[in-house]
Amino acid sequence: MRSIPLLVALAALSLVAVAGAEEETKKSKAKPPPEGIWWAQDFKAGLARAAREGRPVLFCVNALETEQANQRLGLNTYRSAAWGQATRGYVNFVCNPEDHGATACSRYERHVCKGHRDALTWFLKRFGQDLISPQHVILEPDGDVAFRKEYYTGVVDPALLEGYLSNVAPPIAYSRAGIGRDAKLKACASLPLAELDAFASKWLAGRDGLAAAAMLNALDDCYDTPRRLALIAALAHTHDLQAPVLVLAAEERMLYPTDEPAETLAWLKTLFRVDRTLGVWGATRALVRLEDEAARSAVLRIWAGVEGEGATAALGDLPAAERSSAYEALLLAKDRRASQAKVPADWVAGRAAEIARARRLTGRITGAATVDLAAALKDAYPGDLRIALLAASPADVRPHAAALIGLLTTHRAHRVRLAAALALWKARAGPPVQLIDVLYRGSTDLIEGRPTVEALGAIMPEAALESAHSREAWNTTLLKWWKDGAK
């Protein structure tokens, strides 16, 4: 026979179980979140979230409630599942001056009226008091305008919103692209290779703003080399608005071009077809890191658009505006084609300071800086300022340490910030933790990585740097060197 205390305990547990079941039933019957746009209720918190998470910001101006287009957008379009899914990667604000309820807004689902009034106040300060409604504005996470369309003519739709997500926030686009595209992802994994290009071409040319990001999902799940190469080639049909998302996958091949050389070349062909600027971005980085001259020659052929057996390409075969970028990359790679004493003017045009730096870093030229640091800090061009910083002695740096510390956070050019960190590091001046962070980011940069490590190797023991193969080891190694020198 069970004891009274045990029966009481069992009864109590039974009541807890019943209460739990009732609570679960309540939850299951709770109203699901709206299918449409999820509005950021707190304006300041929403902007902070966009900056923190790298999300684009969407402003939907819906301020004239009696006007037909405003009415249709506010009560129907914004509540649709298509617009809801297309805007999940954004921080979304609706702009409206009215009060629709004390606690919850009756016009916009899952919202409070203070939120849409605050959003309108900010919008008017930013874009002026002559308000046109409806209109839609997309801001990049840092606040720059990526897109603006006044009135509503159907241009702004889910495909456009997803396309700008791919353009402005590629990682977020990639993370969302696998949702609802199972059939197409399966086709990428199973179609005969002879049919894959036509399938991808049709998909990428259609009204799917996350098509390229979705194909990158398929590529990540593919381990068959011929299919991977076919998928990379098919991505050459990517719409230019979605081009930035390709960098997510191409970057690794440009950073480690010899690991999968066939993929490196395939990616370069795709990047040049989709967006020439991205092609130049990839080609310069691959050239710097390739150890083999024949491999660099293959990159130059793709860059010059020269195909076929026995084909060759030289710097003179590239567009004139791109020759200086290629020349700088070949200098940094210590390629023999960059070794001639005199070069045509268009090999240097627009990048004289960067090329002088590359020559100095690779031992092509030596000598003191030709730009005085004190003068450069006043009004020099970024390239000249960088030259002065890299060549300045510790004695030159210390009187200007405060100005250089300011450059670490205020100068717009990453190369100048990095040069300031190197100068301060050599002089043992400035906040070491901040310098270590800047130098680490420089050491892992696609184009600046090797020069940064080489410059540090001239300041501190190379053996110590070779052991700093992780962020934690890097911090420990550099901080120890700094403290040891201060003793």
Please determine, for residue 4, whether its predicted confidence score (pLDDT) is greater than 70: no
Give per-residue pLDDT as tens, 284-304.
Answer: 999 999 989 999 999 999 999
Report the percentage of the chain scoring pLDDT > 90: 61
What pLDDT does 462 receive? 74
What pLDDT does 30 receive? 61
Q: How confident is the model at residue 257 (pLDDT cuts 50, 70, 90)?
A: very high
CB-CB contact of 353 with 383 (8 Å): yes
Cβ partners under 8 Å of residue 342, min gap 6: none
How far apart, in whole angstroms, are the C-alpha atoms of residue 68 and residue 314? 61
Place of tokens 């999300």: 55
Cβ partners under 8 Å of residue 45, min gap 6: none
Q: How confident is the model at residue 23 (pLDDT cuts 50, 70, 90)?
A: low
Helix ranges restricted to H, 136-192? 158-168, 170-177, 182-190
Please determine, for residue 24, whether its predicted confidence score (pLDDT) is greater than 70: no
Residue 67 CA: distances (Å) to CA of 100, 140, 320, 381, 477: 17, 29, 53, 52, 65
Give per-residue pLDDT as tens, 72-122.
Answer: 999 999 999 999 999 999 999 999 999 998 789 999 988 999 999 999 999
Please determine, for residue 7, whether its predicted confidence score (pLDDT) is greater than 50: no
Domains of the chain from N-terminus onward: 43-156 (3.40.30.10), 259-370 (no CATH), 375-486 (no CATH)
Of residues 210 and 350, which shows the higher confidence score? 210
CB-CB contact of 404 with 433 (8 Å): no
Please determine, for residue 388, whether its predicted confidence score (pLDDT) is greater than 70: yes
Q: What is the mean pLDDT of the chain?
A: 87
